[in-house]
Amino acid sequence: MSGTIGGAWLAAEGLEDTLTEDLRRRGVTIERWHGQLALSSHPAVYSPWALDIWLEPECVSIASIREAADTLRARQRNWSLYAASCFGRARLVEERLPPVKAAPLVFPTVPPSSPLGAWTLLEPETLLFSARKSSPFPNGAPRFVENRTGPPSRAYLKLWEACTRLGRWPEAGALCYDLGATPGGWTWALASLGARVDAFDRAPLAPAVAAMKTVRFHQASAFGLEPATLEKADWVFSDIIAYPQRLLRLAQRWIETGQTRNMVLTVKFQGETDHETVSAFEAIPGGALAHLAHNKHELTFFWSDTAAKESVSPLPGWNGRDQPGSD
């Protein structure tokens, strides 16, 4: 590509076409791919399909490994490498940079607050970097100390990432509804926080999850519930398999009845991406979508009544509502 690189978006593996179409709908044309990093002369805009967005990319020529490292260190301390080519040379540059502590997170924990930039080598003598990016994690992917004995599935990692991205989670005693809970990965994660969990599904929970002392199981369809007949929840969660339009109606019903203070739902796409439904979710006041590292062909929908009242995003950090150069 010729000219200045205005924005860079990191796509999850296999979702490059989805990100391309989403950005096209937002007025952005991708002019070059560097591995899974989409480059454009257009300034950075938010796309929920990007794992990470480089907000202020700069492209410079470098004559040596030392010059590349010195260029980055002159800007700030912490940098994460996205390696798509020139692997050996990139590792030599990385060795000259201060180490970034990226130990697995012990959930629950808030995201790192120290500024973290991203960089890559487009060519052996071309350095692309951005001191600001949308995710506080290297390449948008947090790692956790996993629990390999308690949960009945690995789906709990998706909930852990969602709460970490949100920067908050249910407190002990909070009332949570888990819609479409079976086999119980999310129910297990919520009950492990000390939350009261009402789990709804037609199929039974894994016995060990059902036996947790703060869990109550209800054999019922998530879509057959009448929110107005239930106690107001602090949180509604769902990782249910459903068509996006049906899940949209479910979210709207819970929000319209005012029967929850917070909501975290997985929006799962089967086959082609339903971009119109993505737009409909984004139009909900107080809501936001994001693609998590533990999502597949999915987005996670976040909503809170506080964000709706204040007309802001429920997600902290850059979300496209401010300009990349602003605080």
Q: Among positive and negative, which fits the CA dihedral 36, 40, 46, 48?
A: negative
Q: Which of 101, 158, 232, 268 is catalytic?
A: 268
Q: Among positive and negative, which fits the CA dihedral 30, 33, 34, 36?
A: positive
R_g (Cα) of the chain, nearest Å: 21
d(CA 54, CA 6): 9
Beta strands in 112-162 (DSSP E): 117-123, 126-130
Q: Is 196 in contact with 222 (CB distance < 8 Å)? A: no
Give the residues across from 11 on adjacent strands. Answer: 50
What letter represents residue 222's amino acid?
A
Residue whose pair of structure tokens reads 């016995």 in the numeric block: 207
d(CA 133, CA 241): 31
Cβ neighbours for 45, distance < 8 A, ≥ 6 positions apart: 7, 23, 26, 27, 28, 320
Q: Among positive and negative, which fits the CA dihedral 150, 153, 154, 155?
A: negative
- Count other C-beta atoms under 10 Å from residue 116's C-beta: 22
Angle between helix 275-282 and 16-25 (nearest 10): 60
Q: Confirm whether 296 is a catalytic residue.
A: no
What letter represents residue 271's amino acid?
G
d(CA 315, CA 127): 31
Angle between helix 185-192 and 156-166 (nearest 10): 50
Residues designated catalytic: 268
